[in-house]
Structure 1
Amino acid sequence: MDSVRKYLEGTNSIAGVYVQSTKQTMSIYEAKSKGLLTPGTSLVLLEAQAATGFVIDPVKNKKLSVEESAAQGLVGNEWKNKLLSAERAVTGYKDPYTGNTISLFQALKKDLIVKDHGIRLLEAQIATGGIIDPVYSHRVPVEVAYQRGYFDEEMNQILDDPDDDTKGFFDPNTQENLTYLQLVERCVRDPDTGLSLLVIVKKGEFYFFIDEQTKTILKAMTTTKAGGKFQGQKVSLWDLLYSKYITEERRRELVQQFKSGAITIERFMEIILTIIQQKTTTTTTTTSSMITCTPPPETKSEKTTITTTTTETSFHGIRKNVTASELLDSKIIDKKLYEDLNTGKVTVNQVSEMDSVRKYLEGN
């Protein structure tokens, strides 16, 4: 299931900012208007939003097109054209020679967009779940991106080994140039919406983030003993730490204990595994009770089957519907799951909720 949601939805782009001193959440544009972010930093963050699916209102938890966001005042009209240009990373660029719709990478190779700008948008797409296919309106796995000409080894090398010239994003708290993924990893997650928010601290305030050296250590520590969504998988301590099972406060507490030497890396892993086990055991028990107590009525079951049969072959993509056969061709679902869809063994809703599919369908 995790493998499907991943391609439909992606991980969050940076949705807005969280002002640590006031505990206030606000949009990128509002933060710029209040002088909390520079215009340059704000623009690249909004362009990254547009290039990964939608412009985000973190207060109302809404995802909008650039046109909609400008109409509703979420962004200023002075940036509308630049954001429409970035949005073409999702909807596609027009090849001036053939008239065909081409991807961000293809537009970059044809010099239709400035190299640094294109690399920044491409990196944001990859960091949030995968390269977007503008023709079919969903993200694709890396191997499919290679096959369709949406990526190549040279670009992979550039993004794999970034230097300051290709670190197109900026941490306003430390004045560092970072990759988009590095900046996303410094964000906090809104407990109500799940959106990633860039923390803004005042001078003298404590700014918590995990440095690159500690991150490397946490990523190197792996286990196959995790439960829940990680059952049976080899997974790093880093991924477990940033999973839905660990709260922001607990994460911060454990990292600080580890960095101070109060706990070893092994003890760190034990604590995380225990937390996940406790949470997944509770969830399983609750779910089992609900199923036992509230079996669905016979008539409701028949009605649901009829409804899903009519929609089983089509999924809601980033900007338009995506067929099950396209998901199969893109290696987002396998042949067995495709056949189960066609025979009614699973529904569109069930497949859409799989982590491995959602990542590719929904954008940011």
Structure 2
Amino acid sequence: MMNGHSSPPLDVLATNGTELTIVPETTKAMLGTSTSSGPQAKSITGVFVEASSQAQSLYAAMKQGLLSSELGLALLEAQAATGGLVDPTQGHLLSVSEAVQQGLVGLGLKERLLAAEQAVTGYPDPYGGGKLALFQAIGKEVIGRAQGYSWLEAQLATGGLADPIRGGRVAPELACQQGLLDQETWRVLAERKPSSSSPGFQDPNTGEWLSYGGLLGRCVRAPGTGLAVLPLRTTFHTLCGAVSLAELQEAGILDGETARGLREGKLSVSDVSARAAVRRYLQGTGSVAGVVLLPAGRKKSFFQAVTEHLLPMATALPLLEAQAATCTLVDPGTGQRLQVDEAVRSGLLGPELHGQLLVAEQAVTGYHDPFSGTRVPLFQAMKKELVDRSLALRLLDAQLATGGLVCPARRLRLPLEGALRFGCLDEETRRCVSRATGFSDPSTQESLGYGQLMARCVTDPETGLAFLPLSNGTLGGEPQGLPFIDHSTRQTLSEATTTISVGQFQGQPVSLWELLFSEPIPAEQRAALAQRHQEGTISAEELAAALRAILEHAAATAKTTFAGLRGPVMPAELLEAGIIEQDMYERLEQGQTTAQEVGRLDPVQKYLEGTGCVAGLLLPSSQERLSIYEARGRGLLRHGTALILLEAQAATGFILNPKENKRYSVEEALRAGLIGPDVFAKLLSAERAVTGYTDPGQWLFGFFLVAVLCAVVPCEGSV
């Protein structure tokens, strides 16, 4: 890199093999030289909030919740990887270090953005010294392929590939000649279709996955600076993407008064989204997550139940199709929602089900109509005979029972009237769906509608997920967990409402069921209160009073803490460690944001929980997940290899059980049979990398002090 006294070269964009054209001085950012670049910056520099007609930096939009942390960080990294960070209100082009110093981004993002900045300044070559361009760094595995391709794509969209040696930007034709790219990678980048499984950049207004150039093409110019900023409408996030305020009004989900309150800033998107009458159309009301063995309370996914011979495939497949058609393929152990591709990759589903469940998933994304070239909703696909009628009726039944029919074009569920109006249903089909009995109760073998089946479910007090009970004592064993909540209790509490003066539901009617499952209520207390109401020892009014008292007490005594590896972490500790900045700390202290919201930010989550380690083995033939110790016992891992992997688990936080997605300390793992006594001592030693090691100097000093005291002060008995 040139020193600070040298004149930096101009960026040069090669338009063909011989002719060069001068382009903006983006290398000033990598040299640490601020410049009032104005329109010279070509990346997405911020957002334009249509409601207030103001431009904001990406970081400011992230802090206010206008951008998700994932998208905001990806756009900031793309800025750093294309020449520097920019404040769209001032137009100043800054290096990452300068941007942190001036408060344009928080200190917690510095490490990630410095790594992205090397896409311009060059990466150290671990094999021969010197600098590597981004493409070369990917080839030598200095940087991950997915991340690197994202930054290559951003550089191509904003003027050409950065050459850290010559200090300029180079068009792809010449870049291929100079080794800064190759023809195959250029082709892959040009043809790549971003999606949730092949991420690019998600449009916050529509939920669509786009290339960086595609998102850049949707930008507008910031007033005053002319920089590219992403317009943000008043949008609501759904399981299928994002929808605008106007779309919710058109569908009949929001009334005029609520819409006015949102436009005038009297109501927030988060408050309106939390209303049960709105949330059901944005997120759905949940499907049947799996089966539970009673009375033991052991939860199983449907596929797991099939592999363990608890359910026949003929019973499980329609239930899995219903999950896929309602965006609720769920891991019952964690509550994590997955798409079909993700579920197969994670082992939640077997590959033999992939094709059938992809067909069901198109009930959300739309079915390709070969006659019009468009994607049509499930009902129309059935009418055009693109989907088998019996399957379509089952999936329509499941959607209606879990919040409303999904309209792929509008990316949300619709009230019945809206579905009829928009051509997602007709009266004749509605009557057929109301009589449909396409699902089987595994306990009685009765054929039922999806709503009838859900009425036979019980609710997990820990996750709120609904499970079909299998009440076979030989399968269930003795009770090991909290008692599940029956459907009649759920229905009664869902219909009873109250008001509360604190928290998320402050000042608005809320059902007792929602209050029961609000965050401050511990799962044990939740299960106990539901059990008492079910037994008739506490009325709905008494339950409402008890819930209000718990929530009000929690609000009055709340101490904002984060869950660390071995205990709570205070905001002041995160501030002192440089993981959050002063502004975020003050917002936490004043209750303007929550520990849960801040803890979901990637930079914070990374330091609190780590980024994960090898949890176990997945057997490709059976999709069975094995712990490291179990795999060693079956001869699938050598003793030394297994010990190294287990020590790595212990030294990064916990011993992992991949079958149940649970984490254990070393002592807990031994008691649970997850490891044996032969590795216990070594794993305890590795675990001290987390819990800390005893300083032998302090121990010797303490021993010496005791000996001196014993010599000076007469003691009864021996020392």
Structure having the higher Rg: 2
Corresponding residue for 1:30?
304
Q: Match for residue 589 of structure 2?
A: none
Which digits, 9 at most, give the CA deviation of each residue in 1:151-172, with x for residues without a partner? 456666776xx5xx43544443
The question of whether the paired residues in 1 share the 8 Å contact of 2:461 and 2:484 is answered with no
The answer to whether 1:275 aligns with 2:550 is yes
CA distance in 1, matches of 2:303, 2:584: 50
- Paired residue for 1:266? 541
Give the aligned partner of residue 210 of structure 1: 486
Give the equivalent residue in structure 2 for 1:125: 399
The question of 1:82 aligning with 2:356 is answered yes
Q: C-alpha separation between the residues in 2 aligned to 1:173 and 1:239?
A: 29
Q: For 1:229, what is the secondary structure of its paired residue?
A: coil
Helix, strand or coil: the match of 1:124?
A: helix
Residues 107/75 of structure 1: CA separation in 2 closer, same or farther (3 Å cut): same
- Is the alpha carbon distance of 1:219 and 1:197 closer, same or farther for their aligned partners in structure 2, counting shifts above 3 Å? closer
Q: What are the equivalent positions in structure 2 for 1:182-201 lying under 5 Å apart?
A: 183=453, 186-189=457-460, 191=462, 197-201=467-471
Conserved 8 A contact 1:29-1:74? yes
**Contact 2:459–2:487 (CA under 8 A) maintained in structure 1:** no
Distance 1:210 1:183 in 2: 13
Counterpart AA for 1:4: S
Distance 1:230 1:71, change over 3 A: closer
CA RMSD of aligned residues (A): 4.2
For residues 38 and 17 of structure 1, what CA distance do their matches in structure 2 show?
A: 13
Letter in 1 for 2:412: R
The 3-state SS of whatever aligns with 2:304 is helix
Quote the residue 2:624 is aligned against. Answer: none
What SS class does the counterpart of residue 359 from structure 2 fall into? Answer: helix
Counterpart secondary structure, 1:132: strand
Deviations 1:171-227 (A, max 9, x none): 434656555456557344484x77655444324879854354x55543443223364
1:318 aligned residue: none
In the other structure, the counterpart of 1:95 is: 369
Indicate conservation of the 8 Å contact 2:378/2:396, yes or no.
yes
Q: Which residue of 1 aligns with 2:412?
A: 139
C-alpha spacing 1:197/1:299, structure 2 compared with 1 (3 Å): closer
Structure 2, unaligned stretches of length 5 or more? 1-269, 562-569, 586-719
Equivalent in 362, 375, 387 of residue 113 of structure 1: 387
Identical residues among aligned pairs (%): 39
SS in 2 for 1:232: coil
- Determine which structure has greater relative contact order: mean sequence separation of CA pairs < 8 Å that are 6+ residues apart, divided by chain length: 1
Q: Displacement of 1:44 after TM fit? A: 1.4
User: 1:228, 1:111 → 2: CA distance?
Assistant: 50
After superposition, the Cα gap between the structure-2 partners of 1:114 and 1:232, relative to the gap in structure 1 and judged at 3 Å, is farther
> 2:408 matched to 1:149?
no
1:49 aligns to 2:323 (yes or no): yes
1:34 partner letter: E
The count of aligned residue pairs is: 291
Matched, 1:223 2:508: no
The TM-score, its normalising length taken from structure 1, stands at 0.62
CA distance in 1, matches of 2:431, 2:507: 31
**Counterparts of 1:144 and 1:265, CA distance in 2:** 34
Shift of 1:102: 0.3
Task: Please state if 1:235 is matched with 2:510.
Answer: yes
Q: 1:153 to 1:269 in 2, by over 3 A?
A: farther
Shift of 1:101: 0.7
Change (3 A) 1:82 1:274: same
Deviation at 1:50, TM superposition (A): 1.6
Q: Which runs of 5+ in 1 are unaligned?
A: 301-364
Deviations 1:20-55 (A, max 9, x none): 466544432121111212222210121122212364
Contact 2:379 2:425 in 1 (8 A): yes
CA distance in 2, matches of 1:238, 1:58: 20
Residue 3 of structure 1, aligned match among 266, 272, 284: 272
* CA deviation vs aligned residue, 1:230-270 (integer Å, no higher than 9, x gap): 22222333443344454554344334323433222321222
Larger relative helix fraction:
1
Task: Tell me which amino acid in the other structure corresponds to 2:323.
Answer: Q
For residues 50 and 174 of structure 1, the distance between their equivalents in structure 2, rounded to whole angstroms, comes to: 24
Paired residues of 1:189 and 1:248 also in contact (CA < 8 A): no
Q: Distance in 2 between matches of 1:88 and 1:223?
A: 39
